[in-house]
């Protein structure tokens, strides 16, 4: 008898429990394509007919709703840009889940009339940063800078120090971004030294605002000088002083003494502060504007504000990050070195591996050069690509001919998953 006669019928497979469950996750088209693919393998002889049911179930179980794969970040870099920067807290993830359906994002349920968008997130920001009179959330930091310079200086000049005209990741240059708004850049000072008189010499009727930009992921050291916010405030003569501090820190952090924060910036003279939601704040990707109520109102009424408007999922995640428990980014930054060593040793002893000192990093352009003392499991370098390709995917740091597995950014509840990934990887090499 032809063995293909033993292949389960398509309608039987489509009615099986794994297929029915998978439809709710993957949709009819993807499920049907997987089932058809398995049946084709069976008809060609690549699979035994008796294997079809199990192979269908296995392939469906391995499929994800998105092609984005979860990764265990074992690099020691807390705000890892290539891994999506900040991981959301459990509260923020729950908020995103709740906001995925219909929500009252622009509706007053008590009156049934339209309400303002993002009120709760704005209130959470102001409660977290009382130095700000008002707040506005847009879709990322670059959008916040574009909106600010467009609304305040289109057809006029943005005065900025040459030493602050930076290029960030993927060749993205802030001067190009600002120039695209229709504002004219007026550079003052030199790469390493800028003085108050440099600003004073150019401020005039054509000036739209004074802009200060945190250098983010590099340092200029040695024969240097700059102009602080207090001095800029005195020089501005009523013109807006805008500070793009980048990282999203709302208050000083003793661990990062040189990292600017929004509260200090506003107290020292900034009229408008720009920050990121998905860096040191530890929330979703967002551009946050904090400062004077009249300037925030001016920006929010500008036509460009609609183009950079943030969605309901981001608003929900941001509010939950600000009002909920400690964000994973904050926890990782302040992880106890002794506890990290204990966790590493607990895994390493099973495999006869060494635990070595390892400094983590903030990442994402925050606190460049600041070490985060900790520990890592030293692995043979050949294990790094195997761990990356595994399930779960584990990303380590490759340095000096070794793979370094740092648990700083790995939730403690995932330590056993890391150990299981190591067992699998060692068995494959």
Task: Please write the tens of the pLDDT for every residue from 399-414.
Answer: 999 999 999 999 999 9
Q: Does position 80 have pLDDT exceeding 90, yes or no?
A: yes
Chain segment 142-160, per-residue pLDDT in tens = 999 999 999 999 999 999 9
| Better-scored residue on pLDDT, 369 or 77 | 77
CB 287 within 8 A of CB 276: yes
Number of Cβ atoms within 10 Å of the Cβ of 301 = 9
Q: What is the pLDDT of residue 364?
A: 87
Q: Whole-angstrom distance between the N-terminal and C-terminal Cα of the chain?
A: 43
Q: Residue written as tokens 């009120």?
A: 119
Question: Which one of 3.50.50.60, 3.40.640.10, 3.20.20.370, 3.40.630.30 gives the CATH number of domain 90-324?
Answer: 3.40.640.10
Q: Identify the sign of the CA torsion 32, 33, 37, 43.
A: positive
Q: What is the pLDDT of residue 303?
A: 96
Q: Does position 278 have pLDDT exceeding 80, yes or no?
A: yes
CB 82 within 8 A of CB 45: no
CA–CA–CA angle 193, 198, 200 (5° rounding): 150
Mean pLDDT over 370-374 rounds to 95
Sequence-distant (6+) residues with CB within 8 A of 315 are 99, 105, 117, 118, 120, 121, 137
Q: Give, in order, the Cα–Cα distances in Å from 139 to each of 149, 167, 219, 293.
A: 16, 20, 27, 20
Phi, psi of 209 (to 5 degrees): -165, 165
Mean pLDDT over 66-92 rounds to 95
Lowest mean pLDDT among 48-62, 75-89, 166-180: 166-180
Chain segment 318-363, per-residue pLDDT in tens = 999 999 999 999 999 999 999 999 999 999 999 999 999 999 999 9
Beta strand 287-291 with 354-360 is unpaired
Q: Does position 1 have pLDDT exceeding 80, yes or no?
A: no
Q: Does position 299 have pLDDT exceeding 70, yes or no?
A: yes
| Better-scored residue on pLDDT, 292 or 45 | 292
CB 192 within 8 A of CB 220: yes
Q: What is the pLDDT of residue 178?
A: 83
| Better-scored residue on pLDDT, 125 or 183 | 125
Q: Does position 189 have pLDDT exceeding 70, yes or no?
A: yes
- CA 132 – CA 267 distance, rounded (Å): 9
CB 402 within 8 A of CB 428: no
Rounded to two decimals, the pTM is 0.91
CATH class in words for 71-83+331-428: alpha beta
pLDDT interval class at 170 (50, 70, 90): low
Strand pairing partners for 361? 77
Candidates 267, 268, 250; CA nearest to 259 is: 250
Q: Does position 257 have pLDDT exceeding 70, yes or no?
A: yes
Any idea where the domains of the chain sit in the sequence?
A: 3-60, 71-83+331-428, 90-324
Number of Cβ atoms within 10 Å of the Cβ of 340 = 24
Q: Does position 97 have pLDDT exceeding 80, yes or no?
A: yes
Q: Give, in order, the Cα–Cα distances in Å from 184 to each of 154, 158, 210.
A: 8, 6, 12
Candidates 217, 194, 201, 238; CA nearest to 362 is: 217
Helix, strand, coil % in the chain, rounded to nearest 5: 45, 20, 35
The proportion of the chain whose per-residue pLDDT surpasses 70, expressed as a percent, equals 99
Q: What is the pLDDT of residue 234?
A: 95
């Amino acid at each position: 008898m032809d063995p293909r006669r033993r292949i389960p019928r398509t309608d039987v497979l489509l009615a099986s429990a794994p297929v029915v469950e998978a439809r709710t996750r993957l949709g009819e088209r993807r499920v049907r394509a997987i089932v058809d693919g398995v049946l084709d393998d069976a008809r060609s002889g690549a699979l035994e007919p008796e294997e079809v049911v199990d192979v269908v179930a296995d392939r469906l179980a391995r499929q994800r709703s998105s092609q984005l794969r979860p990764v265990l970040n074992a690099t020691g870099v807390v705000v890892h840009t290539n891994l999506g920067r900040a991981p959301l807290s459990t509260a923020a993830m729950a908020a995103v889940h709740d906001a995925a359906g219909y929500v009252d994002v622009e509706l007053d349920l008590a009156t049934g009339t339209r309400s303002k968008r993002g009120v709760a997130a704005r209130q959470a920001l102001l409660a977290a940063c009382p130095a700000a009179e008002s707040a506005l959330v847009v879709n990322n930091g670059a959008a916040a800078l574009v909106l600010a310079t467009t609304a305040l200086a289109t057809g006029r000049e943005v005065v900025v120090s040459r030493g602050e005209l930076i290029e960030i990741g993927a060749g993205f240059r802030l001067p190009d971004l600002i120039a695209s708004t229709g504002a004219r850049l007026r550079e003052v000072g030199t790469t390493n030294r800028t003085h108050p008189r440099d600003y004073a010499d150019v401020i005039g009727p054509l000036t739209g605002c004074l802009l200060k930009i945190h250098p983010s992921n590099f340092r200029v050291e040695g024969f240097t000088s700059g102009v602080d916010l207090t001095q800029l405030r005195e020089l501005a003569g009523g013109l807006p002083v805008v500070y793009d501090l980048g990282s999203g820190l709302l208050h000083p952090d003793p661990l990062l003494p040189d990292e600017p924060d929004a509260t200090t910036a506003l107290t020292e003279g900034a009229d408008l502060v720009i920050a990121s939601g998905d860096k040191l704040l530890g929330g979703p990707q967002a551009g946050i504007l904090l400062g004077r109520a009249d300037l925030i109102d001016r920006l929010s009424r500008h036509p460009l504000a609609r183009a950079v408007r943030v969605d309901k999922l981001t608003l929900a995640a941001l509010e939950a990050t600000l009002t909920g428990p400690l964000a994973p980014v904050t926890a990782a930054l302040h992880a106890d070195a002794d506890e990290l060593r204990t966790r590493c040793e607990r895994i390493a002893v099973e495999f006869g591996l060494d635990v070595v000192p390892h400094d983590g990093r903030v990442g994402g352009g925050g606190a460049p050069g600041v070490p985060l003392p900790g520990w890592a499991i030293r692995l043979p370098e050949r294990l790094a690509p195997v761990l990356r390709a595994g399930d779960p995917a584990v990303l380590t740091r490759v340095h000096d001919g070794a793979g370094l597995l740092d648990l700083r950014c790995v939730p403690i509840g995932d330590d056993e998953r890391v150990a299981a990934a190591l067992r699998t990887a060692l068995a494959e090499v």
